[in-house]
């Protein structure tokens, strides 16, 4: 039975592992060996990783792959992708190669602002509150000047501050809504620090205000929002129908029509839209993780954006007009290329260098293209050969490793499955037959 522990964070890494082995692995020394085998032999590098989070006991590796041949706004990129799912990097690379000879990807930044709120309760007269807010607004802005001056030098800062009446949603609920530009920083710490200072000043000024007649606002919390509908990038591709013809499958017209129907299904059917958008995020998250950004925040914001009109729907869209096929997507992305892990994690620094040390807006464009490429590759497979054929071919090596195939056996079976369907059962049977 596991024992309660106190002062765990003060134990050494080895002591933490020993406690874990004793309480959860029945003293199994193999578990300890596995954990310690993932330590980096460079002690300084390992210490850096140990200090990223609390209670680190080892490292968790994920594959770091690259997808070449991405032509974005007439410039060639090789994208870093960190992901564990089979076929994602291959699919992105195939889509990049397909569009390389068809003009590549085009992108455009539509907006770059982010939002944060001071959430508070006020039980007095709302008109009086609004008049009072307008009276003290300049003081609230002045209170955060020490926090915003460096950001302002880089062209960012607090752009606007407004009082929002949310009482139709919840009794006595109001917000101070702040709009920020954070330039190359994702800006979470900056935004939250500003919001907390605004909240403190707001409560302090309100304590003895005669305009509020004793009804003091009570701040509940101050926090940025990961919903960023005003921090959006567009990525798109287009070509003539003749260029869209797929040898061995469809003529351009037929492929375009079937592709557009597949997108339309994702636009009107939430069950399909979720999986459709998940495929987009395969590409998005892989580059976001590789560049040290917060993929959980990106995921939350993207899926909220997909439901912004009241129903969850496709993020991407397709059309056929005057013989030209067009496929595009608007994606909300709050990313940073300074701060956080971007200057600390050696692999993150390498990934950003691979991309040419991009600005935050340039990284938004690259990430959106990765998502669109992934979506195109998935839809092309779905509407032609089916998704499983390519995916299971890529998954073959994982199956072979799971069932303990030797290097020689792998070579033979990889050749065998070039012309045979892949499934876990089929691979296991083929291996047994080979060994017999």
Angle between the N-to-C axes of helices 88-100 and 387-402, in degrees from 0 to 180, rounded to the nearest 10: 140
Identify the active-site residue in 117, 303, 391, 395: 391
Token code pair at residue 288 = 């976001």
Identify the active-site residue in 49, 106, 216, 278: 278
Task: Print burial letters for 277-305: b (CB count within 10 Å at least 16), e (below 16).
Answer: bebbbbbbbbbbbbbbbbbebbbebbbbb
Residue 294 is among the residues annotated as catalytic for this protein: yes
Residue 242 is among the residues annotated as catalytic for this protein: no
Residue 85 is among the residues annotated as catalytic for this protein: yes
Instruction: Read off the DSSP letter of residue 2.
Output: P
Q: Is 353 helix (H, G, I), strand (E, B) or coil?
A: helix
Identify the active-site residue in 32, 49, 85, 409: 85
Distance CA 345, CA 52 (A): 9
Strand partners, 116: 178, 224
Distance CA 154, CA 338 (A): 12
- In the structure, how many helices (H) and strands (E) does the chain have? 16, 10
Strand partners, 284: none
Identify the active-site residue in 294, 303, 362, 365: 294
CB of 434 closer than 8 Å to CB of 404: no
Q: Which long-range contacts (CB under 8 A, 24 or more apart) does 13-17 make?
A: 13/50, 13/56, 13/57, 16/55, 16/57, 17/57, 17/58
**Structural element, H or E, at residue 77:** strand 75-82
Distance CA 429, CA 269 (A): 39
Tell whether the torsion through CA atoms of 333, 337, 340 and 344 is positive or negative.
Answer: positive
For residue 243, give every residue at least 6 positions away whose Cβ sits within 8 Å of its Cβ, in sequence order, or none: 102, 252
Residue 345 is among the residues annotated as catalytic for this protein: no
Neighbours of 82 (CB within 10 A): 21
Distance CA 238, CA 2 (A): 59
Q: Are strands 75-82 and 106-112 parallel, antiparallel or unpaired?
A: unpaired
**Structural element, H or E, at residue 142:** helix 126-143
Q: Please state, in angstroms and as integers, the Cα–Cα distance from residue 123 to each residue in 127, 134, 173, 328, following that order.
A: 12, 18, 9, 47
Enumerate the active-site residues: 85, 278, 294, 391
């Amino acid at each position: 039975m596991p024992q309660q522990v106190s002062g765990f964070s003060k134990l050494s890494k080895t002591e933490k592992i020993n406690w874990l082995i004793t309480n959860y692995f029945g003293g199994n020394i193999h578990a300890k060996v596995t954990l310690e085998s993932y330590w980096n032999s460079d002690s300084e590098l390992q210490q850096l990783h140990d200090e990223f989070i609390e209670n680190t006991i080892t490292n968790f590796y994920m594959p770091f792959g690259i997808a070449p041949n991405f032509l974005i706004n007439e410039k060639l990129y090789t994208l870093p992708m960190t992901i564990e799912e089979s076929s994602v990097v291959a699919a992105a690379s195939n889509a990049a190669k397909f569009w390389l000879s068809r003009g590549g990807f085009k992108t455009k930044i539509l907006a770059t602002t982010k939002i944060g709120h001071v959430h508070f309760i006020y039980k007095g007269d709302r008109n009086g509150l609004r008049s009072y807010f307008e009276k003290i607004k300049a003081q609230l802005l002045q209170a955060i000047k020490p926090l915003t001056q460096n950001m302002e030098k880089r062209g960012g800062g607090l752009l606007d501050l407004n009082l929002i009446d949310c009482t139709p949603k919840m009794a006595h609920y109001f917000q101070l809504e702040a709009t920020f530009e954070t330039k190359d920083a994702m800006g979470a710490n900056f935004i939250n620090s500003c919001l907390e200072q605004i909240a403190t000043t707001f409560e302090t000024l309100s304590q003895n205000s005669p305009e509020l007649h004793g009804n003091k606002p009570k701040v509940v919390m101050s926090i940025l929002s990961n919903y960023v509908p005003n921090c959006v990038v567009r990525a798109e591709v287009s070509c003539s129908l003749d260029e869209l013809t797929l040898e061995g499958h469809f003529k351009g017209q037929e492929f375009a029509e079937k592709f557009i129907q597949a997108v339309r299904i994702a636009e009107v059917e939430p069950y399909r839209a979720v999986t459709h958008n998940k495929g987009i995020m395969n590409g998005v998250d892989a580059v976001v993780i590789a560049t040290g950004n917060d993929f959980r925040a990106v995921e939350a914001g993207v899926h909220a954006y997909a439901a912004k009109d009241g129903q969850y729907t496709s993020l991407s869209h397709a059309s056929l007009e005057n013989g030209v096929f067009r496929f595009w997507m608007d994606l909300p992305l709050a990313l940073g290329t300074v701060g956080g892990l971007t200057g600390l994690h050696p692999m993150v620094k390498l990934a950003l260098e691979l991309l040419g040390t991009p600005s935050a807006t340039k990284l938004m464009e690259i990430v959106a293209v990765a998502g669109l490429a992934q979506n195109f590759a998935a839809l092309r497979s779905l509407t032609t050969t089916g998704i499983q054929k390519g995916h299971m071919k890529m998954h073959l090596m994982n199956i072979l490793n799971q069932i303990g195939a030797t290097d020689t056996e792998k070579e033979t079976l990889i050749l065998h499955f070039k012309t045979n369907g892949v499934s876990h059962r089929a691979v296991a049977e083929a291996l047994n037959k080979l060994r017999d």
